[in-house]
Structure 1
């Protein structure tokens, strides 16, 4: 699988919404829906089907897909910004909503192919463990004791996580039905050190864990993405233990639908092709090889922005810097600064997701021997035109891999030579996602500082201020009518317990 590296100056104008995106960083728009148009068409089809047939909120299934894609990519790829700055697609995602609003099922759907792979790895581990024990009974000396190489973890300590990560260098994913449990895990040992651990993981900084009666564990390339649900009513838990001050919650992306209500079940079955389609896409990402050197050090494949894509990214960053410099809120400044990291990471996720939706490369369908021949010939051709020392070294490594019959290494060399780039289209789509996450972060921040009304868009804010402290549905409808506020939208809004308390049928009280 290779990324699209073809682009022209016309790409800069491909997405007419880009200028709107960079000029509306702090949006007061009436419609702040999750931008499913940021995904490749086949993934959009999956999101819409999950919404129609399974009643998954688009925000939750869209964000869960981003998490699953991030996890499937792991340490295999990184994106280059400059010679001293690289980012990997690591994400911390929170799905925010009331109880019973379908936070867990979309996440479970998105990671199901990865969980299936973990089950397969567990069966393999059990077989190898039985063989290991048999050899011990026979007085033999097995080389190493088998380890369960899993990807998804739920309940753990930093020490246990480091152990698992040591044997799975590709990367891990924390899957939590209730994200608050992840936060509570911080207090099982030392809260401060646990937070430092997760801050280091987020930034990709080398981590070292000292263990009692065991050797220390050193993870040089940590990759642990996180996703889980959290109820709106307990969002304040995020700010405890200094997490609002040390920038921890600035690193969370919030999927936070507006006017979310409990849906009735669909009477129609979701087409089976949707599950199959998602399995193919996520497995295409999982099939990307993790490259290592002769000493088993990770050598992530580096992708660069094509020049036009980087120009668009810089325009956005300039505008974002202006917004940061203009805001008087330290909290918002911190949030907006982290968006500059996430727009890069999401550009990489979208680019590789796009590649994962394409037809299976020719060589993928070949038997291993034929696949090796195909990859070797293709890699030799890519090495041939360039006679500089770098390419000559690659050619030597290629021949060594051929002599050793190392199919995975030959494939990794071939994919490295293809030189993928992140396109303008992927950057524009990442920017649309980032603007959604900016809006939701503002809402969460407003709730955390006990001023949710300030997080509303302008029309809702004006209507909210016009409403009396207590009011009937009829009163609200009259005020909404005079304010050109849609009746249907008002009725949905009245169900949002972030802003309103229902006293009795048809009677409400403002909470602020």
Structure 2
């Protein structure tokens, strides 16, 4: 038996864990490297591969077929399924980590890809059962509102005749919807108060989500979202809007974004309070594909729709009583999760970047949530229990956590390596590379003319101090 640094015997399991940690210093997650330098942390990451095997086999076949026939992409479909499952489960299920710690399923999912890569279609399709539920509830609510308006008119007439008291006023019906799109933070809170099971903010383009921050106090908006992610009580007191208090918020966020918009999402101010640490990124090597000429079987997603209906049917409210199902980890599953989290912590401590440490911390918490989600998906596929979490579900959650960790580091690398040139149109990028390091303005204008760039456009471009420095009269030097 080997010895620890203090001379005591080190158990074999501990030696194996330490060996894995040493091997993971250079390889953190799925293809990502993390190592420290005097100048700070350097991260290199390849596009991680989504672990298809985490899902039950019946769903794996569906995902492959959706990729082949609909060009949805396995990664986009898989990540969308996680968000949809979490939205269906909501607060109906929680997992007990210790007597004072109940964890839920809150996810913030960001699908990154160029136009035409199928990211938005995949997300919309797997959310279909929730959309159908919302549509059915809306239809019932509209009928209830008609009856309510008639009852209210009668009440007001009877009140004038002093036939009824204020306590007899009819109660306005509530529309419990799950999926929201473009809403203000205040409106979102009111909708959630009507549906304590949980809501899903589905934004086709997450740039629109960011714009809602800009319309209001951005720092307060981020703070409120961070609060809901941590499942701490959400309190909203605004003049004229009344008070809202949600003890256990459950707000999923999911949407798509193009790579060129990532700088807005990953702005430094959003990382200062840990907002971006909470994001799960799906950024596969995906490209637009031509439409499939052959018809496809519309029942491709029938198995998934059945899973969603099972999850949506999980009880949460019985009358006025809230009764969430509280699961526990089986001993071997909890042991595996703790061993992995210990390795994750050692990896985080070896990294120098404060931002990366924040990502690691949130990924650890996500592993718990993903364990619960995967267990309930297995239950809905009739492959698992809804009483406790198995080692199979934890193993799947760890693979997913490693995937999302690598994806986040990939995005981080993308932002760290960005150049101001990336924000220029293609013609100016081409011209910039064609210009010598030092040049006379007349020579530069001649090169621009060969590229059919207008003289005024060139003059404005060469006057931009981000890209050029004026050395002498009529002579310039490139800055990048």
**Residue deviations 1:41-68 (CA, integer Å, cap 9, x gap):** 2221221121111100111111110000
Give the whole-Å Cα distance in 1 for the aligned partners of 2:338 and 2:386. 22
Once the 2 structures are TM-superposed, how far is the Cα of residue 31 of structure 1 from its aligned partner? 7.6
Q: Is the 8 A contact 2:233 2:247 kept in 1?
A: yes
Aligned to 2:95: 79
Aligned to 1:50: 66
**Residue deviations 1:231-284 (CA, integer Å, cap 9, x gap):** 1111110133711221110100000002x2111112333323323222111010
Aligned to 1:508: none
Aligned to 1:96: 112
Q: Is the 8 A contact 1:291 1:301 kept in 2?
A: no
Larger RCO, structure (CA 8 Å, separation 6 or more): 1
Give the whole-Å Cα distance in 2 for the aligned partners of 1:96 and 1:419. 33
Give the whole-Å Cα distance in 2 for the aligned partners of 1:27 and 1:58. 16
Aligned to 1:479: none
Once the 2 structures are TM-superposed, how far is the Cα of residue 100 of structure 1 from its aligned partner? 2.3
Once the 2 structures are TM-superposed, how far is the Cα of residue 297 of structure 1 from its aligned partner? 6.0
- Which of residues 385, 394, 416 is equivalent to 1:449? 416
- Which of residues 261, 265, 279 is equivalent to 2:287? 261
What aligned pairs does 1:183-332 form with structure 2 within 5 A after superposition?
183-240=210-267, 242-258=269-285, 260-291=286-317, 296=320, 298-332=322-356
Q: Secondary structure at the match of 2:328?
A: strand
Give the whole-Å Cα distance in 2 for the aligned partners of 1:58 and 1:448. 25
Q: Is the 8 A contact 2:130 2:178 kept in 1?
A: yes
Deviation larger for 65-74 or 442-451: 442-451
Identify unmatched segments of 5+ residues in structure 1: 1-11, 13-18, 362-417, 453-468, 471-511
Once the 2 structures are TM-superposed, how far is the Cα of residue 301 of structure 1 from its aligned partner? 1.6
Q: Is the 8 A contact 1:132 1:142 kept in 2?
A: no
Going from structure 1 to structure 2, the CA distance change for 1:278 and 1:137 (only over 3 Å counts) comes to same
Give the whole-Å Cα distance in 2 for the aligned partners of 1:332 and 1:270. 43
- Runs of 4+ that moved beyond 6 A: none
Q: Is the 8 A contact 2:332 2:391 kept in 1?
A: yes
Aligned to 2:442: none
**Residue deviations 1:12-34 (CA, integer Å, cap 9, x gap):** 9xxxxxx89x9553443878311
Aligned to 2:56: 40
Give the whole-Å Cα distance in 2 for the aligned partners of 1:187 and 1:297. 38
Q: Is the 8 A contact 1:49 1:270 kept in 2?
A: no
> Which TM-score applies when normalising by structure 1?
0.70
Give the whole-Å Cα distance in 2 for the aligned partners of 1:214 and 1:61. 39
Give the whole-Å Cα distance in 2 for the aligned partners of 1:178 and 1:269. 28
What aligned pairs does 1:360-375 form with structure 2 within 5 A after superposition?
none
Give the whole-Å Cα distance in 2 for the aligned partners of 1:356 and 1:270. 25
Once the 2 structures are TM-superposed, how far is the Cα of residue 99 of structure 1 from its aligned partner? 2.1
Q: Secondary structure at the match of 1:243?
A: helix
Q: Is the 8 A contact 1:221 1:298 kept in 2?
A: no
Aligned to 1:367: none
Give the whole-Å Cα distance in 2 for the aligned partners of 1:41 and 1:287. 23
Give the whole-Å Cα distance in 2 for the aligned partners of 1:111 and 1:49. 18
Once the 2 structures are TM-superposed, how far is the Cα of residue 172 of structure 1 from its aligned partner? 0.1
Once the 2 structures are TM-superposed, how far is the Cα of residue 291 of structure 1 from its aligned partner? 4.1
Note the aligned Cα RMSD (angstroms): 2.4
Q: Secondary structure at the match of 1:254?
A: strand
Q: Secondary structure at the match of 1:176?
A: strand
Going from structure 1 to structure 2, the CA distance change for 1:268 and 1:219 (only over 3 Å counts) comes to same
More strand by share: 2
Q: Kindly indicate whether residue 393 of structure 2 is the aligned counterpart of residue 426 of structure 1.
A: yes
Once the 2 structures are TM-superposed, how far is the Cα of residue 142 of structure 1 from its aligned partner? 5.4
Aligned to 1:435: 402
**Residue deviations 1:358-391 (CA, integer Å, cap 9, x gap):** 29x9xxxxxxxxxxxxxxxxxxxxxxxxxxxxxx
Once the 2 structures are TM-superposed, how far is the Cα of residue 424 of structure 1 from its aligned partner? 0.5
Q: Is the 8 A contact 1:331 1:445 kept in 2?
A: no
What aligned pairs does 1:338-353 form with structure 2 within 5 A after superposition?
338-353=362-377
Once the 2 structures are TM-superposed, how far is the Cα of residue 433 of structure 1 from its aligned partner? 0.8
Q: Secondary structure at the match of 1:175?
A: strand
Q: Secondary structure at the match of 1:242?
A: helix
Q: Is the 8 A contact 2:372 2:389 kept in 1?
A: yes
Q: Is the 8 A contact 1:93 1:253 kept in 2?
A: yes
Aligned to 1:166: 193
Give the whole-Å Cα distance in 1 for the aligned partners of 2:404 and 2:214. 28
- Which of residues 125, 133, 146 is equivalent to 1:117? 133
Aligned to 2:28: 25
Give the whole-Å Cα distance in 2 for the aligned partners of 1:419 and 1:226. 25
Going from structure 1 to structure 2, the CA distance change for 1:67 and 1:28 (only over 3 Å counts) comes to closer
Once the 2 structures are TM-superposed, how far is the Cα of residue 438 of structure 1 from its aligned partner? 1.1
Aligned to 2:380: 356
Aligned to 2:83: 67
- Name the count of aligned residue pairs: 377
Q: Is the 8 A contact 2:67 2:74 kept in 1?
A: yes
Identify unmatched segments of 5+ residues in structure 2: 1-12, 14-19, 33-45, 159-167, 420-432, 435-479
